[in-house]
Amino acid sequence: MYGPDFTFLGVEKCDLSKPETFAGADIVIVGAPFDGGTTHRSGAKFGPQAIRGADYLPHDGSRPHMALRTDGLKDLKVVDAGDLAMLSGDTEGALALLEKATELITRSGAIPVILGGDHTIAAGDVTGVARVKGWGRVSMIHFDAHADTGEDHFGALHGHGTPMRRLIESTEIHHRGLTTVMDEAFGILTDECEGVFLSVDIDVVDPGMAPGTGTPEPGGLTSRELLEAVRRICLELPIVGIDVVEVCPAYDSSEITAYLANRVVLEALSAIAKRRAGTEYSASKNLLEGR
């Protein structure tokens, strides 16, 4: 763990070596501080703690969502396992460690939420979930400014530009657009699949709103567009895993990238809680209606 030892917004700690500490959990948060696959600006290994701590409110394990009328940290049992010991000089070993962790969490019945780290980690966390749900039974939604489908990474099979290529070789992936094809994509994603893994590379957002990333690309989504998309995905689809990657604190400005990544996690948890509650939500509904 890089930086102070604290959990995501004050949720309870757990220990992956002690299953009783996350028994009955709905969500297990894990840090994946790995940036050994970076090709431009390094420092994503410091991302997990930046994401955990990016909030101006007390870290009290509670964050009510006004629009959804849920509290993702209270309505779900959320625990934080801290960071895995992922060494940047041992890519294969780091991915194997993450794969084992996500497999363990998934077998427990919880949803793993992985805080990266660079996007190399997707090859490990998605595979860990698929080992439980079944090969070819996990669909994926991938938000990114880059396709990440490179054949190799300077001669190596794993890097932050190759994870989708490695996953394509082992399961079916549908990487579709945002608003114009979401209905169609949702139908495809749930066809003969056990669930959907949501992978969010923060560089999908325009660098004017998310400068703290290793490989920024102008012309990306707005932060609002990303949050609305994450909300809808987690409301309407059976999520089996989430990762949020490529936050590089050294290049951030006033922590706005870390704040956005933190909010992506909160938006996802709030929507998952809303989906499990079985109550309706309409984006056009007045916040005070029915109060």
Question: Which residues touch 5 (CB under 8 Å, ≥6 apart)?
Answer: 82
**Predicted pLDDT of residue 181:** 61
For residues 137 and 49, give the distance between their C-alpha atoms in angstroms, rounded to a whole number: 32
Higher pLDDT, 202 or 172: 202
CB distance 25 to 15 below 8 Å: no
The arithmetic mean of pLDDT across residues 46-54, rounded, is: 95
Average pLDDT over residues 7-20: 97
Domains of the chain: 8-277 (3.40.800.10)
In the predicted model, is pLDDT for residue 261 greater than 80? yes
The pLDDT tens digits of the residues spanning 143-198 come to 887 665 545 545 555 544 455 454 444 333 334 445 656 776 777 778 888 899 99
CA distance 284 to 45: 39
pLDDT for res 144 = 81
Stretch 263-279: mean pLDDT, rounded?
96
* Pair of tokens at residue 253: 């400005």
The string of pLDDT tens digits covering residues 229-260 is 999 999 999 999 999 999 999 999 999 999 99
pLDDT for res 166:
46
86 compared with 190, residue with greater pLDDT: 86
Q: Which of 9-23, 24-38, 44-58, 272-286 has the lowest mean pLDDT?
A: 272-286
For residue 151, what pLDDT is reported? 56
What's the mean per-residue pLDDT of the chain?
A: 86
Half-sphere exposure of 209 (CA within 13 A, CB side): 16
Average pLDDT rounded to a whole number, residues 103-129: 96
Question: Which residues are CB-neighbours of 79 under 8 A, at least 6 positions away?
Answer: 11, 12, 13, 14, 21, 22, 25, 27, 28, 29
pLDDT of 272 above 50: yes
Q: How confident is the model at residue 40 (pLDDT cuts 50, 70, 90)?
A: confident
pLDDT at 41: 82
Look at the alpha carbons of 104, 105, 110, 112 in this order and tell me if their dihedral is positive or negative: negative
Using alpha carbons, select from 12, 10, 5, 6 the residue that is nearest to residue 79: 12
- The predicted structure's pLDDT at residue 195: 94
Instruction: Give this prediction's pTM.
Output: 0.87
SS in 3 state form for the chain? CCCCCCCHHHCEECCCCCHHHCCCCCEEEEEECCCCCCCCCCCHHHHHHHHHHCCCCCCCCCCEECCCCEECCCCCCEEEEEECCCCCCCHHHHHHHHHHHHHHHHHCCCEEEEEECCHHHHHHHHHHHHHHHCCCCEEEEEECCCCCCCCCECCECCCCCCHHHHHHCCCCCCCCCCCCCHHHHHHHHCCCCCEEEEEEEHHHECCCCCCCECCCCCCCECHHHHHHHHHHHHHHCCEEEEEEECECHHHCCCCHHHHHHHHHHHHHHHHHHHHHHCCCCCCCCCCCCCC
